[in-house]
Every structure is written in C-alpha cells, then in structure tokens.
Amino acid sequence: MASLETALIHQHISPEISGAVVPPLVQSTTFCRDPKGDFIEGRDIYTRASNPNRRLLENKLALLEKGTDAACFASGQAATMSIFHSLGQNSHVILPDDIYYGTRVILENLYKNWNIEYTVVDMANSINIEKAIRPNTKLVWIESPSNPCLKIADIATITDICTQNRILTAVDNTWSSPYFTNPLALGADIVMHSTTKYLGGHSDILGGAVIWGDKLEADKAQSIKDYQSIGGGVPSPYDCWLLNRSLSTFFVRMAKHNSNAAELANFLSTHPKIERVYYPGLVNHQNHEIAKKQMTNGFGGMMSILIKGDEKNCLAVASKLKVFQHATSLGGVESLVDHRRTAEGVHSVSVGNLLRISVGIENIEDLIEDFAQALS
C-alpha cells in the first residue's frame, strides 16, 4: 500500500471470497475442523482465542503504531491489567503524578495482594525517574499528554534511561493517538490504548489494546497474549467490526479534532474568566518544545482549563454550555466537558475549578460561541 491511510481502509479478512467491499462481521463463537477432526491451518478455533474480526483489528493497530503485534481487550482497563499482570509479584512501578485515576486504582485495589508498589513522579522532568528507580523497578508507565493536565513527557529520553536499567516502558497513547505520537518509534516497549476513545471515535465502542514491537521480550509478549486468551477479557466480534469501521475515518477525524482544539485553546487562553489553559500547542506550555519534537501533525484534541473562582463557578460554566455536553469520556466526534473532581470521587487529585475538554469535530465557530456565552 502507498500509505497508512489507504492501508487502513483496504485491509480485509483473508481470504474474502464474497466480494464484500466492507469486511463482514463474523459472530460465530466456534469454527469447524476438517472431516478427520483435525484443526485447519489458518482457521480460527474458538472466538475467545481468536476471531477474524479481531485479527484484522489487531493487524491494523500494529500497523498504526508501527509495531509487530497487538492484543485487543474488552476495555482499556483490561488492557492495562495485562501489562501489570506480566510484571509478577513484589515489583515496583513508576507512575506519572498526573495520570488517569483508573490506572492507580488498578494497582491499589486489584494488585495490593501482589505487593506491587508504585512511586509517583513528575515526568515532565526525566531526572525524577532516575531518582525513583529501585532494584525491583520493573516498569515505567508514561502518559503524554497526561490526564487531565496535559503534561508532556520526553518519551525518547525516558526510554533511554529505562533501557540502560533494563526496565520496561509502557506508554498510554490514548490521548495523543498514533496520529500525533508513535511511542514505539521513540523507544518504548509497549503502547496501550483505550480504543473506546479516538480509535473508536464515536462513543459507541468499549475496548482496549496493547501493541508492541520487536524490542519487547518474547515471554512478556506471550504473558500479555495469555492474559487475553486465557483470562478471556476479549472484545466481541461486533465491537471489533465497529472499530475496524471507525479506523477507516481515523485520519480525517483526527485532523479536525486537532484544528478545532488549536483554535479553541487560542480563544480560551485570552479570555478574562479563564485562569489557565493546559494545551501543549500553546507556546507558554511547560514542555511545548518537547511536544513539538515528538508529536507530529499537531498537538491533539484534548485540553483542560481552570475557571477563575471555585468549584461552584466551574460547574456553573459547564451547566451553561449547549453544544458541549457534560459527560465522562473523550475522543468522540461530539464535544464534551468533564468536571474531573466530581467524576473521580474519593480518588480525585484534580482541583475543583478544572474542566477537561474533549474537542469534537463540529463547526469551530459554534464551539467558540458556546464557550463565549457560557463564560459571559
């Protein structure tokens, strides 16, 4: 194929003899053996282990992230757990101080009996990672941009540090997406996605994925695959089929998310009722130069803002928005705001006047006008 954009649209389930332009949905949970009872080479056996729609999706995701293999899961949380599970007991993990709260909850609640400890550091400065390394450190988990304050980590520098110390690096690339960042090309061992977000793109699919390249040791890759097939947290064939559909418009959607976010960030950054805009495309962002170096095609469709005043003022602005809907998610074609402190509950470390914004692909003038009236 001449380009990645074309390959994503024209990859099909092989062999495809029906002539269908769109890859067909294969809902079957099981597949026939030959007349002698032997398994047929190249044919699936049971859908928990593999399915034509999932294989096609995993191939596309590996292609998108410049990896060699992928494993799809029923959610981003299940994908994250497959990575932590591969570490084993008595491990130490380094996490960013600004991180999706659900990642911390996994370690605190589900792996507390495994004695997996973690240290939280500000990854905007790579020196902090070197200081946090212990003899039993097995993994550095990176978010760039981070959730919800859009901190930028220097992925190449961090992966160099980890490689020298024989530590795995996993990057949650959900917010950036492979349209803007390819962590494997920057030296990471593993990439994780909540495919519910930008890869799905329509707020109608729940899923997750782990992608890796040749750098990842074979036993770690097999552990992730075992967690998928034996653990059984796999996406349904229909979810895989829907996600394959969504990837056909991925490049077009991401370009619009990006241009809309850049214009909205510029508008909000000069508004008198906004205390601060967290967006790596703004020149006053702490690590704007690193973002310019490691992100291509722009700076993404996400931002967060601090409303002047307290939590009450922030919620009042959210309630006045008409085009932006107040809901917990991101990456869909529709624009959303989310008050993270109330969404995260007791686990929240977000300040009360922060609104997270997922900029959709609507007309940008409508989005700017909506915030203008809500802030008036």
Retrieve residue 220's tokens.
């770690």
Catalytic hit among 48, 55, 292, 293? 48
- Can 134 be counted among the known catalytic residues? no
DSSP-derived secondary structure letter, 30: B
**Can you give the pTM of this predicted structure?**
0.95
Catalytic hit among 98, 154, 172, 239? 172
Per DSSP, the residues of 134-185 read -TTEEEEEEESS-TTT-----HHHHHHHHHHTT-EEEEE-TTTHHHH--GGG
- Can 36 be counted among the known catalytic residues? no
Contact by Cβ (8 Å): 46, 31: yes
- Can 227 be counted among the known catalytic residues? no
Span 213-229, pLDDT tens digits: 999 999 999 999 999 99
CA distance linking residue 214 with residue 327, whole number of Å: 39
Catalytic hit among 100, 198, 227, 279? 100
CA distance linking residue 25 with residue 41, whole number of Å: 21
Retrieve residue 256's tokens.
């619009």
Retrieve residue 68's tokens.
């060699």
Contact by Cβ (8 Å): 277, 305: yes
Span 285-328, pLDDT tens digits: 999 999 999 999 999 999 999 999 999 999 999 999 999 999 99
Catalytic hit among 54, 138, 197, 340? 197
- Can 197 be counted among the known catalytic residues? yes
DSSP-derived secondary structure letter, 80: H
Contact by Cβ (8 Å): 102, 79: no
**Which of 211, 208, 284 has the alpha carbon at shortest distance from 243?**
208
What pLDDT tens digit does each residue of the chain (376 aa) get? 579 999 888 887 766 677 888 899 999 999 999 988 888 888 988 999 999 999 999 999 999 999 999 999 999 999 999 999 999 999 999 999 999 999 999 999 999 999 999 999 999 999 999 999 999 999 999 999 999 999 999 999 999 999 999 999 999 999 999 999 999 999 999 999 999 999 999 999 999 999 999 999 999 999 999 999 999 999 999 999 999 999 999 999 999 999 999 999 999 999 999 999 999 999 999 999 999 999 999 999 999 999 999 999 999 999 999 999 999 999 999 999 999 989 887 777 889 899 999 999 999 999 999 999 999 9
Q: What is the 3-state secondary structure (H, E, C) of 247-308?
A: HCCHHHHHHHHHHHHHHHHHHHHCCCCEEEEECCCCCCCCCHHHHHHHCCCCCCCEEEEEEC
